[in-house]
Chain A
Amino acid sequence: MTTETKEPQVQQTQSAEQPTKSGLAYRPNVDILETENELTLVMDVPGVERESLDIDFAEGMLTVQARVAQRYAANQRFLLREYGIGGYYRSFQVGEQIDVNGISAEYADGVLRIHLPKAEAAKPGKIAVNVAS
């Protein structure tokens, strides 16, 4: 990875709508925040029920998929139609400074938060001292 200091730990790997098993999915908007102890991904996935969320981490890749139940009748006619409804898909490359086993997530009000705790070595002020034995 050749980024400078802005985004060292989480790199988005997809930039467009991605085909999933169930067809095209929307790419949810995301904020990526960093505090002293963790990186937090905050993702807008309105219309998703908690049980329909699928968060997966494998080989350094964090993947979020969500199904959305159709809310309209198939032949629904609209007076105004400004957005479509579908599932969500987005994935991120996670750097090795993350404590993978400590990853957790919470969901409320259409917003998914994924907590990526920093590995001890990545926290500021921590200096590893090798003791010669």
Chain B
Amino acid sequence: MVLRRLNTGSPVTQLRHEMDWLVQDFFGRGSRPVAPTTAGFPALNVWEDGDSLFAEAELPGVKSEDLDISVMAGDLTIQGRRSTMAGEGVAFHRQERGAGQFNRVIRLPFEVDAPRVEASLRDGVLLVKLPKAESAKPKKIAIRAAE
């Protein structure tokens, strides 16, 4: 089973922390327009067990109040923002951490029980638990013994 990615950005193939923050360039380099969405950020690990689907993302420095997670029409959307440290009297010698807005949408492989979706944020790791709808749970088929 493969989750379809709605964002058609660069393929994320490396199992590395490739932070593709293609976001607002608050340094003003170039004349890139502010991108309303980010392709492929945050990177996601997705797995399931019999009852639920789990989606996990690394979002260091993102506050829960700056994060918006929603399930609608079979899509999981994770959007939010990370603020910059730039300010008056601050000079950057190195800037590898991205800042700005991100938006990632994945199509869910089955129906979920939307009101029971839970999310937690701990040490910069977001975990979204999406309980399967009854219709999506594996059914145990009892085999009647032949009489």
Contact = CB atoms under 8 A, between A and B. Distances in A.
Interface residues of A, number: 39
Given A31-B94, A32-B94, A81-B45, 8 more contacts: A28-B17, A29-B19, A34-B91, A47-B124, A80-B45, A83-B16, A83-B18, A110-B123
Interface of A: 6-7, 9-10, 12, 26-36, 39-40, 42, 44-49, 71-72, 76-84, 109-111
A39 to B, nearest CB: 8
Contact of A83 (B43, B91, B95): B43
A69 B19 CA distance: 21
* Interface of chain A: mostly helix, strand, loop or mixed: loop
Interface residues of B, number: 40
Interface of B: 1-3, 12, 15-19, 40, 43-48, 53, 56, 58-63, 85, 89-97, 106, 109, 121, 123-125
Nearest to B89: A35
Contact of B46 (A29, A39, A79): A79
Nearest to B106: A80
A-B pairs with lowest CB-CB distance, top 9:
A110-B124, A110-B60, A46-B124, A82-B43, A80-B46, A84-B15, A46-B58, A29-B96, A32-B94
A33 B91 contact: yes
